[in-house]
Amino acid sequence: MSDQPIPLADRRVRVARVADVVADRIRELIVSGELADGDRLPRLDVLLEEFGVSGPSMREALRMLESEGLITVQRGSVGGAVVHRPDARTAAYIVALVLRSRNTELRDVFEAMSLLEPICAMLCARRPDRKRTVVRELRMHNAASRRLISGDDLAFNQAMTAFHETLVQQCGSKTLTLLAGILESIWLVNEQAWAQGASRQGPLLSKEQKLERLEHHERICELIREGKDREVVQAMTDHIEVEFIYSEWVDPEQPVDAQAVRLSR
């Protein structure tokens, strides 16, 4: 036998900081649902007594949670912190930061989104309950869009966007819904910013262009109703190509704007 002592650990054991422990506990309460979206955390003095930690440690824990988008600390006379359950918009900021650090262009985000949304549409078409769930909601958005063809451009654009969001949310895959939702959140920040600015100068799209987009949505909805999963993939791909043409106001070579994504949450 060797006389060399057996190492008990390959690396130095890290002792968790007090702020990390507090943040971990509150974070778990949020993600597990014990703290609901919109709930308020107790006042600072109550938190200090309950956790038995110092003021600086508690404030650091709250800053950590706020940077993650899990709470919003309200200062002043109101005080306290409001809870936010994590969603695609929460994750979108982190992803946007990574993409921005790699100088990723918006074109790249759109191309990735154009690959995921047809898959979401295919999964919607495969749902056995699609007629009373997916199709019903898609038709509602289409009806709203048709009523707005001659009306407010921003409202029309929002109704059309809701169609895409429903396709993603109703596909039945939580992972795919999250991934596609993240990309949509990053892309839509730029599209909505343009729409708000351009709408002050005049109509965003002609009536004919609006009708063309809406007819694509209605065809996609019917293919899903009929359960034609392969056909809806092609229809969705064709539609996204048209959407990109109408999105020419967004510079495809512009890098992802992480700060804009953060402010949109």
The pLDDT tens digits for 150-209 are 888 888 888 999 999 999 999 999 999 999 999 999 988 877 666 665 556 656 678 898
One domain, residues 58 and 109: no
- Is 67 part of any domain? yes
| Residue 238 belongs to a domain | yes
Query: Quick one: pLDDT band at residue 225, thresholds 50, 70, 90?
Result: very high
User: Is residue 113 left, alpha or beta, with left meaning phi > 0 and alpha meaning psi from -120 to 50?
Assistant: alpha
The pLDDT, as a whole number, for residue 143 is 97
- The verdict on residue 2 lying in a domain is no
- Using the predicted structure, report yes or no on whether residue 265 has a pLDDT greater than 60: yes
CA separation for the pair 134, 136 (Å, rounded) = 6
pLDDT in tens, 12-28: 545 568 999 999 999 99
Contact 169, 185 (CB under 8 A): no
Residue at 10 is within a domain: no
Residues 46 and 141 in one domain: no
Same-domain status, 184 and 242: yes
Q: How far apart are CA 123 and CA 237, in angstroms?
A: 14
CA dihedral 105→180→184→138, nearest 10 degrees, is 150
Do 236 and 124 share a structural domain? yes
Closest CA to 108 of 250, 12, 259: 250
Q: State yes or no: pLDDT of 64 exceeds 80.
A: yes
pLDDT digits (tens, 9 = 90+) for 30-44: 999 999 999 999 989
71 in the same domain as 97 = no
Q: Is residue 3 part of a domain?
A: no
Instruction: Give the pLDDT of residue 193.
Output: 65
pLDDT grade for 229, boundaries at 50, 70 and 90 = very high
239 and 141 inside one domain: yes
CATH code (residue 25): 1.10.10.10
**At which of 40, 57, 83 does a domain end?**
83
pLDDT, mean over the chain: 87
* Whether residues 111 and 208 fall in one domain: yes
123-157: pLDDT as tens digits: 999 999 999 999 999 999 999 999 999 888 888 88
Alpha helices in 32-152 (DSSP H): 44-51, 55-67, 88-101, 106-126, 134-147
Q: Which of 34, 66, 83 is the last residue of a domain?
A: 83
What pTM, to 2 d.p., does this model score? 0.78
Both 73 and 102 in one domain: the answer is: no
In the prediction, which pLDDT does 115 show?
94
Residues 6+ apart with CB under 8 A from 143: none
**In a shared domain, residues 73 and 121:** no
Q: Which of 28, 49, 83 is the last residue of a domain?
A: 83
Q: Do both 143 and 44 map to the same domain?
A: no
Helix (H, G, I), strand (E, B) or coil at 81: strand
Q: Which helix (H) or strand (E) holds 72?
A: strand 71-73
CATH number at residue 235: 1.20.120.530
Whether residue 99 is predicted with pLDDT greater than 60 in this model: the reply is yes
Residue-level pLDDT at 6: 60
Residues 70 and 108 in one domain: no
Residue 11 lies in a domain: no
Contact of 215 with 248, CB cutoff 8 Å: no
pLDDT at 11 over 70: no
Domain count within the chain = 2
Whole domain around residue 62: which residue ranges? 18-83
- DSSP notation for 177-191: HHHHHHHHHHHHHHH
76 domain-assigned: yes
Shared-domain flag, residues 111 and 69: no
Residue 6 in domain: no
